[in-house]
Chain A
Amino acid sequence: MSRAVYITGIGAISAQTEESIFSEKPAVYTSNIFQAISPNFKEYIPAMALRRMSKAIKMGLTAGKIALQDANVELPDAIITGTGEGCKQDTEKFLESMLSQEEELLTPTSFIQSTHNTVGGQIALNLKCSGYNVTYSQESASLESALIDSVLLLHEKPSLNSVLVGGVDEVSNKITSFGFLNGFLKQEEIENLSLFSHKSEGTITSEGAFFFNLTTENKKDSYAQLKAVSSLKAESSIEVSEKITEFLLKNSLRSQELDIVFLGKNGDLDQDEIYDELQNTIFSESCQLAYKHLSGDFNTVTGFAIWLSCLIFRKQQIPDILKLNAVSGANPKNILLYNLASNTNHSLILLQKP
């Protein structure tokens, strides 16, 4: 029989801080592309290693170390990473020098660091961890895939003390701005906090790293039980609704028993229609929260919602800045994270108070 999996440590770097959200003073941005707030990376990474790291690597390694410190774990048994677009800054640097130097005399560092598994590799090197190390890159399902693998690994080897799992994505000058060309980003620059009042296509984006320490042992200071994770395809709100109901039933729950639903609404007129329909039907009795007006939208952003859910369980406080409706959601037991990307890629993460 499979064992329950618990989140015992969390680490996050994003465009917001824990304090800014829970004190209801979120950071405000006036550009559709904005950066994460950097901690003092030197406190976590030796200067000689730090010097050649791009933002994704710095954020991933630091968030991973914060999660481990939080869980009082020195060395994890496995490191599992999700990244939608990998190390874009180094990819750009490498491609630009190929062009400017006509494919000659290319320096190796940016090429070496440009691969998607660099973050997982650098965490392992820093921690001297020779355990299982895998990186998943499946666009918006990257973090979800990493979580599913973590759960499977812990079910297979419940004696493992610690699986460090997380997601990371960074902003880069050129590749991120392509979002203006393919319709991912809003054409007009908006203020992030007004994301849901702009009735137009597209969204805003940013970057971040979110890492979690998982174990099968429920410790007294566990944040949450990671009850289930699923990524699925569906074309209509009716089909999604059926699949969500099915997902909940598998976990012995009905939609009415969801205290909080964390919705990945991103302000895109077309995509948010599906959220609107779910808000008015199966999620109507739950406290509905949104977060992408704070974090921006990117492939591994559901990590931001997992991090917030853990803090809500711990603090028993739901910041007003997240709320979409008036249902209280006080003392939550069940939180469902629902995310939609590219109109057809859906993900569900069910968290339960430990």
Chain B
Amino acid sequence: MSDLRTELKQSIIEQLNLEELTIEDIDNDDSLFGDGLGLDSIDALELIVLLEKDYGIKLTDPNQGKEIFISINKMAEYIESHRTK
């Protein structure tokens, strides 16, 4: 379980060019948007692509992202129950 969370943090740092951050800087419950990591709407699009590319999860309703991309824990839980690869 923790491997998936570490993998997600690594992917997010690489995909979103968060060069200043390391895996240790991101807590599993930190908010990804707003006051947490401070991600924005372009990052949300990148995360939607990341879900499909790495885990075979296709979000048909972009509004779903608001619930899934709350934190690393929430993302991991969603991936664990919906992944196709």
Contacts and interface: CB of A to CB of B under 8 A. Distances in A.
Contacts of A112: 42
Contact of B46 (A47, A48, A107): A107
B52 A105 contact: yes
A52 interface: yes
B84 interface: no
B46 A51 contact: no
A330 interface: no
Given A105-B52, A105-B53, A47 B45 contact: no
Interface residues of B, number: 14
Interface stretch (B1-9, B12-20, B64-72, B74-82): B12-20
A107 B15 contact: yes
Contacts of A47: 20
A110 to B, nearest CB: 10
A107 B49 CA distance: 6
A52 B52 contact: no
A108 B19 contact: no
B16 A108 contact: no
B21 to A, nearest CB: 10
A159 to B, nearest CB: 36
A58 to B, nearest CB: 12
A106 B53 CA distance: 9
A7 B32 CA distance: 44
4 shortest interchain CB distances as A-B pairs: A51-B17, A108-B45, A105-B53, A107-B49
Interface of B: 15-20, 38, 40, 42, 45-46, 49, 52-53
